[in-house]
Amino acid sequence: MLPNHEALRLTPHAMGGGYVAPRAGSPSDPLRTAVLISGGGSGLASLLRHQSTKPRSHRTTLVISESTEAGGLDHGRAAGIKTVGIPIPEGPSRRREHEKLIQRELEAEGIELVVLSGYMRILTPEFVSVWKGRLVNIHPSLLPDFPGAHAHRDALEAGVTVSGCTVHLVDEGVDSGHILEQRRVPVLSDDTEKTLQERIKAVEHELYPLALDRLSNGDYSF
């Protein structure tokens, strides 16, 4: 790699499609990562396990949920990570006001990469524009098939025999950003939403940490 490319890697830099890639992290100087969750946080738990087994180029330093009740918050607390529930405020513009509270936490912690892991709220274009390229999501289908909140149900209703999961950069649309990784998962004839979800989650728990390794090592071009 040329020296000027190396210098570029070490700072956030513009890519195509309005994305700004994170700087390349390293095990000695990992990207400070925030994980946003809404529920049980099994994906968060798998990421924390991955980061604890050896030094990675990313390290979770903040966990946020929109509910103080989210079960997954316990994973952050147990790991000794700053963990906050930020309830949605009352009043007009509550979506933006909520994001501003999140943004304040992200800035206070010097966050460099935002990882959505079962975060079930749609982010506004204003929030996305601040983080575009440094904001990643995992979705339980082979996008562009079955975007939205009911991916497993939609896959079963469509009668597909293969579904899967997708890691993608977040853009202004719903589950429409640049795809980084996908894995296929079989759909069985007697699957329920629950059994399909569990089979896909098992794959997600391997794929997401791998994709975050690659992203924070600067291995993707987009």
Per-residue interface string for the shown chain with ligand GAR, residues 95-134, x marking contact by CB under 6 A: ----------------------xx----------------
One-letter identity of residue 105: E
Span interacting with ligand GAR, options 6-14, 17-25, 40-48, 101-109, rule CB under 6 A: 40-48
Per-residue interface string for the shown chain with ligand GAR, residues 58-97, x marking contact by CB under 6 A: --------------x-------------------------
In the complex, least distance from residue 41 CB atom to ligand GAR, rounded to whole angstroms:
5
Q: Which residues pair with 184 in a beta bridge?
A: 164
In the complex, least distance from residue 175 CB atom to ligand GAR, rounded to whole angstroms:
7
Is position 138 an interface residue for ligand GAR (rule: CB under 6 A)?
A: yes
The C-alpha atoms of residue 110 and residue 38 are separated, in whole angstroms, by 22
Which of 84, 47, 62, 71 is closest to 212 using CA atoms?
47
Helices (H) and strands (E) in the chain, counts: 7, 9
Which of 11, 64, 8 is closest to 36 using CA atoms?
64
Span interacting with ligand GAR, options 25-33, 38-46, 50-58, 102-110, rule CB under 6 A: 38-46
The C-alpha atoms of residue 152 and residue 164 are separated, in whole angstroms, by 10
Active site residue 75: no
As annotated, the active-site residues are 139
